[in-house]
Structures are given as C-alpha cells and as structure tokens.
Amino acid sequence: MTQQTRTATATPPPTSPQAPPPTPAGPDEFDGRDTDRPGDPRAVGLRVAGVDKTYSTRRGDVHALSDIDLEVGRGEFVSLVGRSGCGKTTLLRVLSGLLAPTAGTVEAGERPAWVAGRRDDAVFAEFGLVFQEANLFPWFTVVDNVALPLKLRGVGRAERRARATELCATVGLTGFEDSYPRELSGGMRQRAAIARALACDPSVLLMDEPFGALDAMTRDRMNLELQHIHAVSGTTVVFVTHSISEAVFLADRVVLLTPRPGRIRSVTPIDLPRPRSVEVEATAEFGELVVGLRRQLDEED
Ligand SMILES: Nc1ncnc2c1ncn2[C@@H]1O[C@H](COP(=O)(O)OP(=O)(O)OP(=O)(O)O)[C@@H](O)[C@H]1O
Ligand SMILES: [Mg+2]
C-alpha cells in the first residue's frame, strides 16, 4: 500500500441531503486504482428505498425510521451517526435481515433482499455482522469460533481450519488461534468477531458500534486494522458509531440520521486520501468535517 501525498485543504467537501455514491471525476479523484479504496463505487452494494419501520408496543407505536433512501456503492465504507435512539440499530437490523421493515425495499447488488416484508435468506446469508459484544462461544477456541460459519456451511475440517487461521492473521491474532475467548482482551475478542464475520467472504459487512466498549487507544488501533481489512477484503461496509471522528476517519461517506422518526438528514462525502493514518485527525480538513457534523447534531437540541 502506498501513502498518498495529496495535501489536505481547508475546504470541507460539500454536504448534501441524499448525495449519490461518489463517482470518479478526474485524475485527482478516486479511480479505483491509485488509492486503497477497494471495490467499484459505481456498482451498487446496497440499495435502500423508502424504508419505514414502526415498532408496535403495548404502549403504542414507535415510528423508528421514516422514508430511508440510501445507496451504498460496492466496496464503499459508509458510517452511520446520530443521537441515541435515532434508529441506527433499527436500520442496521433491517439491513442485516433480522428485522422486517414496515415498508420499503432493500437490495444487495441488484438482488432483492427485503421486498414487501419478505426476506431472501440466500442474500442475507452473504452478509457479515459484528455487534458491540463479540458474542464468541466461550467453549470454542478462537480458531473454532472463526471457523464456525464455515462449519455451518459444511466446509471440511482441514479447509476451515486453514481459512480460519488465515483470517486470524488478517486481524492480528496469529499465535492466539488455540486460545479461549476468556484468555483474550476486549479488543482481541472484537478482532475474532470480525474474523468470524469475514469467514464467508461477506458481500456486505454490517457493524453496530463494534469498538464502543474499547478504550481510546485500542479503538485507534482497531480503526487502523479495520481500514486495512476493508482495503484487502473489498467488502461493502455499513458502520454505526457514536464517535464522529471515528465515523469520519473510516468512511467514504457519513450518513447522519435525525430522530423521531429516524430520517437521513445529510450525507457527507469524506474525501480524505487513503490509507489514512492517525495523523489525518490533526489536519484542518478532518477537523472541519468533524465540526460540521457535530454542528448538525447540536442543531437538533
Ligand atoms: N424492539 C423494540 N421495540 C420497540 N421500540 C424499539 C425497539 N427497538 C428500538 N425501539 C425504539 O426505536 C427507536 C430507535 O431505536 P434504535 O435502537 O434503533 O436507536 P439507536 O440509534 O441505535 O440508539 P443508540 O445510539 O442508543 O444505540 C427508539 O425510540 C427505540 O426506543
Ligand atoms: Mg444502537
């Protein structure tokens, strides 16, 4: 991987409601080759159209999402931010097939995933999920946890062990393959959860505050590792976080939701060169992106 030399400018990229996925625009822009941005942003990874979600509870209805339209390019990294309770997890659960939308459709790579409240299990089987808790099986070793999705697909023992060992290396767990989850730190457990999510080469990786429980330094390291994993795997990622700087650091675009009901308020392209190092956080461009997004959140008070 080569470090780009393009300098940051003080001008923040435009923020627009419902901006389309970025397209290559010139020699200085992403062209899929001269950066570490994987995939093809012109191809659709995920398409969400008119998604609405109302929870019916004993105390009445909760309108959690309203009219969500969003396209995520193949290989694109989209961060989802917004106040607590604005519907981020609800949207992620709809995208992962765990929760039926009340209305609207979800497509993955032009294949219908949710249509008229019906899900296509084959499409969602290609998705990888990572949550705040690693949810590893305590009686399985790391390598067996990572290999579990392959076992469920009937992959033979030797092959799944080889693939799981490779994935352990990808997430920096070499040497811990035969450890049990209780012998790992929180960050290592999350890495194992990411490796497990990658086991079936997911077309889409959905992550809900995966680093929310980690200390700041571990989180920085995990962000660098996730950036690398995204670059080498080329998977489409939707990443939920409470941290605006984490969202900006990782993303190609940041989607900001407003609450009651959750709607897309803005989509901000993050035109910072890749790969990004932690030093990017000290640049004027990064600072202005973070301040701009924080201002939008504050305006909701
Ligand atoms: N299973 C449920 N039944 C009823 N209401 C729910 C359910 N899950 C979420 N809600 C409601 O839907 C709204 C959105 O919740 P959601 O968990 O999606 O928010 P969030 O943005 O993920 O919040 P946080 O940042 O705190 O994780 C909230 O008002 C919440 O109370
Ligand atoms: Mg949540």
Give the mean model confidence (pLDDT) for residues 273-287: 96
Which residue's CA is minimally distant from atom 28 of ligand 1? Answer: 85
Which residue's CA is minimally distant from atom 30 of ligand 1? Answer: 85
Q: What span, in angstroms and rounded, lies between the C-alpha atoms of 151 and 185?
A: 25
- Given the CA of residue 257, which atom of ligand 1 is nearest to it? 21
Ligand 2 centroid–CA 84 distance in Å is 7
81 C-beta closer than 6 A to ligand 1:
no
The ligand with the least distance to the CA atom of 86 is 1
Q: How far is CA 114 from the centre of its chain?
A: 19
Give the mean model confidence (pLDDT) for residues 93-97: 95
Ligand 2 centroid–CA 295 distance in Å is 21
2 C-beta closer than 6 A to ligand 1:
no
Give the mean model confidence (pLDDT) for residues 207-231: 90
Residue 38 has a pLDDT of 60
- Given the CA of residue 93, which atom of ligand 1 is nearest to it? 18
Q: What percent of the chain has pLDDT over 90?
A: 70
Which residue's CA is minimally distant from atom 7 of ligand 1? Answer: 55
Q: What is the pLDDT of residues 98-144, one digit of tens each?
A: 999 999 999 998 889 998 888 999 899 889 999 989 999 999 999 99
Ligand 1 centroid–CA 5 distance in Å is 42
Q: What is the pLDDT of residues 227-273, one digit of tens each?
A: 998 998 889 999 999 999 999 999 999 999 999 899 999 999 999 99
* Residue 274 predicted with pLDDT over 90: yes
56 C-beta closer than 6 A to ligand 1:
no
* Residue 214 predicted with pLDDT over 90: no
- Given the CA of residue 57, which atom of ligand 1 is nearest to it? 4
Residue 273: count other Cβ atoms within 10 Å of its Cβ.
18
* Residue 218 predicted with pLDDT over 90: no
Return phi, psi of residue 223, to 5°: -65, -40
48 CB contacts (<8 Å, ≥6 apart)?
68, 69, 70, 71, 91, 94, 95, 104, 105, 106
- Given the CA of residue 209, which atom of ligand 1 is nearest to it? 27
Asked if the bond preceding 261 is cis, omega within 30° of 0, the reply is yes
Q: How confident is the model at residue 94 (pLDDT cuts 50, 70, 90)?
A: very high
- Given the CA of residue 242, which atom of ligand 1 is nearest to it? 25
* Residue 150 predicted with pLDDT over 60: yes
SS3 readout for the chain = CCCCCCCCCCCCCCCECCCCCCCCCCCCCCCCCCCCCCCEEEEEEEEEEEEEEEEEECCEEEEEEEEEEEEEEECCEEEEEECCCCCHHHHHHHHCCCCCCCEEEEEECCEEEEECCEECHHHHCCEEEECCCCCCCCCCCHHHHHHHHHHHCCCCHHHHHHHHHHHHHHCCCCCCCCCCHHHCCHHHHHHHHHHHHHCCCCCEEEEECCCCCCCHHHHHHHHHHHHHHHHHHCCEEEEECCCHHHHHHHCCEEEEEECCCEEEEEEEECCCCCCCCHHHHHCHHHHHHHHHHHHHHHCCC
Is the separation of the CB atoms in 69 and 18 below 8 Å? yes
Ligand 1 centroid–CA 89 distance in Å is 7
Is the separation of the CB atoms in 155 and 163 below 8 Å? yes
Q: Which segment of 73-77, 106-110, 272-276 scores lowest on mean pLDDT? A: 106-110
Give the mean model confidence (pLDDT) for residues 146-175: 94
Which residue's CA is minimally distant from atom 14 of ligand 1? Answer: 87
Give the mean model confidence (pLDDT) for residues 182-189: 94
Q: What span, in angstroms and rounded, lies between the C-alpha atoms of 229 and 236?
A: 11
